[in-house]
Structure formats: C-alpha cells, structure tokens
Structure 1
Amino acid sequence: MPDSSFLDATRGSYDVLASSYLDRLDPDLDLPPLSQALHRTFAELVKAQGGGPVADVGCGPGWVTDILHGLGLDVFGIDLSPGMVAEARRTYPGLRFEVGSMLSLDLEDATLGGLLASYSIIHIPRDRLPEVFAEFHRVLAPGGQLMLTFQVGDESLHFDEAWGKSVSLDFYRQQPSDVVGLLREAGFEVTAEIVRHPEPTEKSPHGCVMARKPLPGGPGEAA
C-alpha cells in the first residue's frame, strides 16, 4: 500500500498554522492581476459549459473560495486540515467547507462543473499525482473545467518551522509540461499552459494549467 504518512504531516502542520494564516495573508497582494484574470477565465469557462458545483480543493482558510463565489460560481471548499476548515467556516459563514483529501474525495462520480486546486498539489509527492488527477477526472462531469496553480521548478523543499511554529511540510515545485503530460494520461483535454514570472516578493515563477474532462466522443476521449 502506498505510504500516506505525508497526509498526516501536512494535516497536522496546517492545523498548527490555521489560526494565524489569514493574518499573514493579504489577498490583494497574493493574487496578482494575471492570476485574477485566470480565475475570471476559469469562472467563465465553467459557466459556458453549463455551470454546476465547483470544488476548491485544498481551500485553506477559504479566501479563494470566496473569490470564486464573487465570480458567480456555486462553489464549496475542501481541505485536509480541520483547523483550516474551521477558520474558513468562521471567516466565510455563508459558504460551505468540508474536510477531505484530494486523494479520495467524498463526491459522487461526474458531479462537478469545475474543480480548482490552487497551490494545493504542491504537497503531493510527484509519484502520487496520477492518483490525484484520476480522482479529479472521476468527480468532474463531462465538459467540467479544471484549473491547477503551483510554483514552477524541479526542487523539493522541507520545512520543520514556519512562523515560529513546529511543522513538517514538504513542498514539490512542478514543471508545467510534466503536469500537462500527467493530465493527458488521466484523460483530460489540456486547454492552457501558462507561466507567470515572479512578483518582486516571490522566489519562483508560477504555473497555471487549465484542462477539461472531454465530452463523450469529443477530443481526448474515444468515441
């Protein structure tokens, strides 16, 4: 059976950080104009395909979930950390948030119109990404839209301390071409691959890959 101890470490670390996370985050600074435009594009693609529920997977304290809600999506958040979900529910009481793992989503097959994973696949070991993308493919309805964002690079990083607190967090930067290849293997039709240069306060470029689950008989799926 694959080792899933990283899930416990990630969950525990974000539980420790949850109460101070939003205090450290300025949404106006942490979502540059190009990223705002990409979120608007994602929202319009979901609507154009007929809408439906949208999952913000790895939602953290819920601020991106709230952004998608403001863009007119029927969105809810899912996060591995109960502490983060508690903070999200406290901060955005009008939205729905659930505890869950992207490796095993508690969702029926083909029920989502869209799925966003904003800087959340960065904690998944690279050899487990095919499982994650297969799960994303399972829960999206035909035509459902997928948007992934991540830091670009080849390195893996480990932190035992963050904001003066003890944690055990692994970060895996990704190459967009690798993500694209894995999504295609999972049955997705890739529609966009974008690299944003770092802002002055950032250490690495940022990637965004958009894809959709093909319609029956459409490109990427056998007729």
Structure 2
Amino acid sequence: MSEIEPAVEDLRHATRRFYDTVADAYAAALPDTRAEAPLDLGTIAQFVADLPRGDGVVVDAGCGSGRMLTHLNGLGVSSVIGFDLSPAMVAQARAAHPDVLIEVADLTALPMQDAAARGILCWYAVIHTAAEELPAVFAEARRVLAPGGGILLGFQAGAGERLIQRAYGHDVSFEAILHEPHEVAALVKAAGFDVTTVAERAARGRERHAQGFVLARRR
C-alpha cells in the first residue's frame, strides 16, 4: 500500500462523518440554487445543452441533498440518478426525489456499467478529493460515460486547503481542498476528455475563494 492510500481513506471517512453530521441543516440551508451565481448556473445550462441525445442517464456525482437533481429536472433532464458518499445526505436526497435512483457511492467507484451515462455533473464534490486522487475520479467518469458524454466540474479555485468552521450550525470543522482550474482541466484532458470550457470567477458575497468550472466531453 502506498503512502497516499491511507491519507485518501482518512479523508474519505472524515468527509462522510462531516456530511452525516450536517445533513439535516445542509438540506435546510441549501434547498435550491439560490447560492449559485448566474455564471455558475450558466455553466450547468451549457452542460445540459451539450449533452448528447440518447437513452443514457445523467449522473449527479456527489449529489448531496439532491438540490441539483431538482435543477437538472427543471432544465428538462428527465433521466437522472444520484450518488453521494454520505448515507445521511443520500437519505435527504431520496426523501426529496423518491422516484430517482440515489445510492451511496464514492467518486472513484460508481456502481454503473461502462458507457451507461451521457453526462456527469460533479458539482462541488471534488472539494473533498486530494489532487493525487483526481486522476482516479476522472478515469472512473470516463468509464461510465458513453463516447461524447459530458462532464461538468464545479469547485473552489486556488491552491491548498480552506477551513470550514461551525458548519451549518454544528460545532464541527473540516478542511476542504482548493484546485486550480487549469490544473484540473489538464488532468481531465489526460483522462481522455476534450476540454471545452475552463472558467474562473472571483469570490462574491460571503464567498472567500474564487470558483472554478471545467466542462469537457469524453472522446
């Protein structure tokens, strides 16, 4: 076992514990897309517009309480499924979307057949993924996407980590990971995607960090 693997597993367990703790408060605080800026929502609209036609599902990978599943439905995406690392978050998402398949899963091991999806939305899920594990995440995304399928990543932009304290009214703290958009784009390209958009916007309102977005299509 490499030195990276125990650290990655520790981060995974810490992430699950954190979101299991704050799931109820998170769902109440973020019921919809009111926290997103117009540019953020524009990237999602472009992702949907670029989706290839076909019968494949669109995956919300790191779906949290399911608010982006609602948003995708509102944009006309009818066949959606969701995955999240936190069982408590999955319970929230299932309660909001009883007719949608939503399961507990890690970004590096999605319970799907090869080429079964036509799109993957990974909205602020890789903020809990170490840089050295990103290639595994993107390789798994490529596996489950059909050729031409799209992926959209949203994340806090920058280098290093940010400390989240007293999150959602709970006496818990957690460190999230910042990623440089062009570095993420390079890794996505190396995993077998054609990158179509790399964007970064400045922090606004109560945000402390810039926000990054990468949109790509599987070769």
Q: Report the TM-score when normalising by structure 1.
A: 0.89
Q: State the identity %.
A: 38
What is the match of residue 25 of structure 2? 20
CA–CA distance in 1 between the matches of 2:192 and 2:33?
Answer: 35
What is the match of residue 10 of structure 2? 5
Q: Quick check: 2:29–2:168 contact (8 Å CA) kept in 1? A: no
Aligned pairs for 1:72-111 within 5 A: 72-73=76-77, 74-111=79-116
Structure 1 residue 62 and structure 2 residue 70: aligned? Answer: no
AA aligned to 1:61 is S
Q: Quick check: 1:58–1:79 contact (8 Å CA) kept in 2? A: yes
What is the match of residue 123 of structure 2? 118
Structure 1 residue 169 and structure 2 residue 200: aligned? Answer: no
Aligned pairs for 1:167-206 within 5 A: 167=172, 169-206=174-211
RMSD of aligned alpha carbons:
1.7
CA–CA distance in 2 between the matches of 1:108 and 1:166?
Answer: 40
What is the match of residue 40 of structure 1? 45
State the Cα distance separating 1:20 from its structure 2 match. 1.1
**Would you say how many aligned residue pairs link Structure 1 and Structure 2?**
213
What is the match of residue 220 of structure 1? none
CA–CA distance in 2 between the matches of 1:36 and 1:76?
Answer: 19
State the Cα distance separating 1:164 from its structure 2 match. 4.2
Structure 1 residue 30 and structure 2 residue 35: aligned? Answer: yes
Structure 1 residue 132 and structure 2 residue 137: aligned? Answer: yes
Q: Quick check: 2:84–2:90 contact (8 Å CA) kept in 1? A: yes
* DSSP-derived class of the 2:106 partner: coil
State the Cα distance separating 1:161 from its structure 2 match. 4.2
The counterpart of 1:212, out of the listed 192, 195, 217, is: 217
State the Cα distance separating 1:49 from its structure 2 match. 4.3
Q: Quick check: 1:9–1:168 contact (8 Å CA) kept in 2? A: no
CA–CA distance in 2 between the matches of 1:107 and 1:130?
Answer: 18
* DSSP-derived class of the 1:163 partner: helix
Q: Quick check: 1:10–1:123 contact (8 Å CA) kept in 2? A: yes
CA–CA distance in 1 between the matches of 2:95 and 2:146?
Answer: 30
CA–CA distance in 2 between the matches of 1:188 and 1:129?
Answer: 14
The verdict on how the C-alpha distance between 1:201 and 1:56 changes in structure 2, with shifts beyond 3 A counting, is same
CA–CA distance in 1 between the matches of 2:173 and 2:53?
Answer: 40
